[in-house]
Amino acid sequence: MRTPFVAGNWKMHNDLAAGRELVAGLKAKVGKDCKIDVAVCTPFTLLYPLAAELKGSPIKLGAQNCYFEPKGAFTGEVSPQMLSAAGCTYVIIGHSERRHVFGETNDLLKKKVVAAQAAGLHVIYCIGELLAEREGGKTEQVVESQMAEVLSGDLKTDLLTIAYEPVWAIGTGKTATPDQAQAVHAFCRAKLGGIFGESTAQKLRIQYGGSVKPGNAAELFGCPDVDGGLVGGACLVAEDFAAIIAGGEASIG
């Protein structure tokens, strides 16, 4: 059985005071008895101080991006080794905003995934189609190439989670229906079987992301191939994120 995994993507939100307040609110609601895996992926500037706040908590820390070199003359970049040293367990790679706002390609993302795992980080690798691609019937083709061009059988699958995030559902309030999400997740799992082998694909978690809210989390996470979620807007309010985590726990039964 796969343990659901709910991660919050804070994006470019929160200064230190607001970050501390949000983490304190979450710690009050997510105790050691939490039945699922939980992480908050914060801006780089908050990693060191929030790692200290989260020490001993079941809530783990993640970053939202990294470069693929360990160090050097790469102005403005942060290496996977730096993220590990700051207390990160996770790093999001290939978020749609990295792909579509910053132009990150599958070639670049492949290097980042390998480098992040080499530094001991667990990668949340994001895939997902644009609205025009869905409307053009290209969803499967897009997510298949985003997996095939970046993932390979030699990756550490215990340090890998896939996040299926249809771009048209991110930050739009337009959530995929459970049927739409399940269909793509099942397709992805079958393709992951081709890359990693069937039994490993059955163990890999595939999160759903795109306007997950307290009101839709339990139904989405209850789909057979949906193993929790990657949450943007709703993770910025402690009560909402805690309710989404509760939706993940409910999906275990």
Minimum CB separation of residue 56 from ligand PEP in Å reads 27
Toward ligand PEP, which CB reaches closer, 12 or 17? 12
Are 185 and 179 contacting, i.e. CB atoms less than 8 angstroms apart?
A: no
- Among 212, 217, 223, 245, indicate the residue that binds ligand PEP (CB under 6 A): 212
| Alpha helix stretches (DSSP H) within the chain | 16-29, 47-54, 80-85, 96-100, 106-118, 131-135, 139-148, 178-196, 198-203, 214-221, 238-250
Site membership for ligand PEP, residue 83 (CB under 6 A): no
Toward ligand PEP, which CB reaches closer, 81 or 167? 167
Q: Specify burial of residue 138 (Cβ count, 10 A radius: 0-12, 13-18, 19+).
A: middle
Token digits of residue 140? 């499967």
User: Is 95 in the active site?
Assistant: yes
CA distance 103 to 97: 9
Site membership for ligand PEP, residue 232 (CB under 6 A): yes
Site membership for ligand PEP, residue 228 (CB under 6 A): no
Site membership for ligand PEP, residue 104 (CB under 6 A): no
Q: Where in 136-195 is the site for ligand PEP (CB under 6 A)? A: 165, 170-171
Q: Where in 8-67 is the site for ligand PEP (CB under 6 A)? A: 9, 11
CA distance 178 to 44: 33
Count of residues touching ligand PEP (by CB under 6 A) = 15
- Among 4, 210, 228, 247, indicate the residue that binds ligand PEP (CB under 6 A): 210
Toward ligand PEP, which CB reaches closer, 81 or 95? 95
Token digits of residue 211? 């306007």
CA distance 185 to 224: 9
Site membership for ligand PEP, residue 114 (CB under 6 A): no
Which member of 95, 122, 185, 249 is catalytic?
95
- Among 117, 207, 211, 216, indicate the residue that binds ligand PEP (CB under 6 A): 211
CA distance 137 to 92: 27
Residues that bind ligand PEP (CB under 6 A): 9, 11, 95, 165, 170-171, 209-212, 230-234
